[in-house]
A and B are shown apart, each in its own frame.
With several copies, the nearest count.
Chain A
Amino acid sequence: MSDLEAWRAKAAAWCESMVPQFGKAARKGLSVEEDLALGRRYQKAKFDAGFAGINWPTDLGGQGLGHIEKIAFEAEEMKHGFPNVYFGISLGMPVPVLMQFGTDREFVKERVLKALQGEEIWCQLFSEPSGGTDLAGLRTRAETDGNGWKINGQKVWTSWAQYSDYGVIVVRTDPTVAKHKGLTYFWVDMKAPGVTVRPIKLAGGDSHVNEVFFDDVRIGDDHRMSPVGGGFAVAMATLMIERYVATDSAGFGPHLDLFVDLAKEVRLNGRPAIEDGRIRQQIARNYAMRAGLDSINVRARLMMQAGMTPGPEGSLNKLVAVRSRQKLSELAIDLQGAGGFAFDAHASPKDDWASSWINAPTGRIAGGSDETLLNTIAERILGLPQDHRPDKGVPFNEIPA
């Protein structure tokens, strides 16, 4: 048995042992608050067992292992439906960015340890109502205030903000320069005076995203994580982490195996649906697409491990995977016929087709819409001209709202 196989076996055994306490059955019927509380206990158990921060440095509470061990653990973990969704963003982007860009290392260490143990949750305050998907067009502003800063404005689509202790935020500190040049990156205490969080109910019925209002929120300059006016680069680094680490060729929907299982189970014209060419075609094409994304991601990680910079093709994952997941989910509903109507607003989009379908549009919009991603590929990778942009090069405060 290789080291990795041994690791995976250990992970499998531990996950198995957690099922009575944290599995689907244990979660059934819980309110979101109760489930979050259970989730915090699960995260603590995970930390204690050595499965939190698997590929993070040991001096910050991580395990110092590789990405491959992390993947192996997650493959086991995802089989059981544990309450880990509350920590996905927190440990996925803001905390890694804090590790990379936080200057007060003692503070960083304390926060990372608490986040890894599920005690604290971080959110990411990027999108704004008027900005749509235009990161450089942010309007939330920070003005100097004594030695520190004063934040005013509104963020939106902030996942888990209502349960977050801290957040990372990009704000405009200089409205007189061109759009992407006047931004600065901070962390904020989500419990600070002047911060108001208002959950948004989404199409699928849940409310994990929020509007967040900042009303004269005062922070010290030690909250700053980028040079003044240099926030765009750090924000891009955050999105880069998202691109290469938080990828999923299933588009954050069900694994293709679940579709194959469904197609074997259900009958079409009196025969297993898996024998029908239409179903086979979708399986084959989705497999080819996902296999390509997986290969791109594996190659990118190998390159990073070898000290090379991976190619820009990593940006394809979300665009291609979520869009396909939406249609595949529709087909899965069609396949079930009368059984396809069933719906549970609390089911997971990772293993329930109706949930996957109803949440797919959010996936195609949040964190860069399909259209923004296509523009980015066209302009930054292929060198195609920008769209007509009446606002380009104009100082931010001179662009008509």
Chain B
Amino acid sequence: MTILHDEGQQAIATESRRVLEARMRKEELLPLLELEGRYHEGFWATAKEQGWTALALPESHGGLALGLVELGLIAHQAGRTLSGAPFLTSGFGAAKAIELYGSDAQKARWLPGLASGDSIGAIAFASGADPLPAQPGVRFADGRLDGIAPAVSGGVAADVAILLSAGADGPVLAVAELAGVERRTVASFDNSRCLADLVFAGTPAARLETGGAARDAALHILALQAVVTAHEQTGGAEALMEIARDYAVTRKAFGQPIGAFQSIKHRIAELYGLVELARANCIHAAAREGADDFITAAAAARLSATEAYDSAARDCVQIHGGIGVTWEIGLHLHMRRARSLALEQGSTLFWEDILVDRLAGEDA
């Protein structure tokens, strides 16, 4: 797949940007920070209405049969405008897991709802600090799950979850309906991620993969989500770089625009570099879905996107001086999002290890 976007792809980028810029307002996002378990309903309604939920799913189940490249373009725009809910990524991941590893019955049951956005999907792989634990904390036995999946993004609202659980013969990738499952909302610095601990207690679940295949499948799903998230991070970093640039051109100190001071202008130029490296890695990774080196490409995209967004958040706030740390100006929305996206799908530490294992031939 080429890394040059065709006209259709460019149209997706343009249109999603237009829609999101018209509809997303920091004034609506700020209050959500102080409310646990709430998300920006307007964003999610837009995602459903625009068909973004269906974008990368198969036509046979209500999808539009496009791929990671197109979803990445949406995610980039969502990142620019501070997407109001995590379900686009987690729903995609859940749907892909069911599409790739599920039975026809499971696909028929879940994919149409995930494609329309009427069902919300979540991914619950992590245990403790580990995004892909060798010994998951949730146990799978006799078709039932027991244990707690911690801080699941979208967990407050999700209808279905894909889990990495511990079965008798090693890890089990499982799918579970969440109706009736207790959710303990996690108070977070970015509450509209709708994080919840999911408390499974004899919850019925179906096995998708077992043993080494389960772990491989989980890593593949995580990598798919990481590429989507990397696009979102890159979009956020790009927006911050532009905000910093615009501020540096207009704000004056000591009788001249602050952008004339090299400490400011070079920092923004460095951000430009980080954003472009992340963008290039994202575009490349999205185009490598299905290829042998997909995990490597995903890891590179993820690492550079996390660095870009965290750095842009630090620097953009710093460049703004005092006004940058006020609640009202809302730069902290990006700062918080940079951190929540840095944790979701596994931190930099995790992806560094995944990448080096491959470069050093240790994953074989």
**A contact set with B: CB distance below 8 Å:** 127, 129, 132-134, 137, 156-157, 200-205, 256, 260, 263-264, 266-270, 273-274, 276-278, 280-281, 283-285, 287-289, 291-293, 295-296, 298-299, 302-303, 306, 311, 313, 316, 319-320, 326, 330, 333-345, 354, 357-358, 361-362, 364-366, 369-371, 374-375, 377-379, 381-391, 399-400
Contacts and interface: CB of A to CB of B under 8 A. Distances in A.
B302 to A, nearest CB: 8
B245 A384 contact: yes
B352 A281 contact: yes
Interface string B324-361: 11111001100110011011001111011101100110
B187 A385 contact: no
Nearest to A273: B129
B280 interface: yes
A125 to B, nearest CB: 14
Interface stretch (B51-59, B62-70, B217-225, B262-270): B262-270
Interface in B243-273: 245, 248-249, 253-257, 259-266, 268-270, 272-273
A200 B127 CA distance: 39
B261 A371 contact: yes
Interface of B: 2-4, 33-34, 126-131, 134, 150-151, 186-190, 193, 195, 245, 248-249, 253-257, 259-266, 268-270, 272-273, 276-278, 280-281, 283-284, 297, 299-301, 303-304, 307, 310, 314, 317-318, 321-322, 324-328, 331-332, 335-336, 339-340, 342-343, 346-349, 351-353, 355-356, 359-360, 362
A302 B3 contact: yes
Contacts of A203: 317, 325-327, 331-332, 335
Nearest to A399: B255
Contacts of A357: 339
A62 B301 CA distance: 37
B327 A132 contact: no
B359 A299 contact: no
A232 to B, nearest CB: 16
Contacts of A284: 299, 303, 351-353, 355-356, 359
A303 B129 CA distance: 43
Given A339-B150, A388-B260, A201 B265 contact: no
Contacts of A390: 254-256
30 contacts: A134-B253, A200-B326, A203-B331, A266-B128, A267-B128, A268-B129, A283-B355, A283-B359, A291-B280, A292-B278, A293-B280, A295-B283, A313-B276, A319-B273, A320-B277, A335-B129, A335-B349, A339-B128, A340-B347, A341-B151, A342-B187, A365-B321, A375-B266, A377-B273, A378-B265, A383-B249, A384-B248, A384-B269, A385-B256, A387-B261
Contacts of B273: 316, 319-320, 377
A338 B281 contact: no
A385 to B, nearest CB: 4
Most-contacted residue by chain A among B129, B150, B270, B347 (CB, 10 A): B129
Contacts of B129: 266-268, 273, 335-340
Contacts of B283: 295, 299
What 7 A-B pairs come out closest when comparing CB atoms? A292-B277, A337-B129, A203-B332, A390-B255, A201-B327, A295-B280, A391-B255
Contacts of A345: 34
B280 A384 contact: no
B249 to A, nearest CB: 7
Nearest to A337: B129
B150 A338 contact: yes
Nearest to A316: B273
Contacts of B193: 341
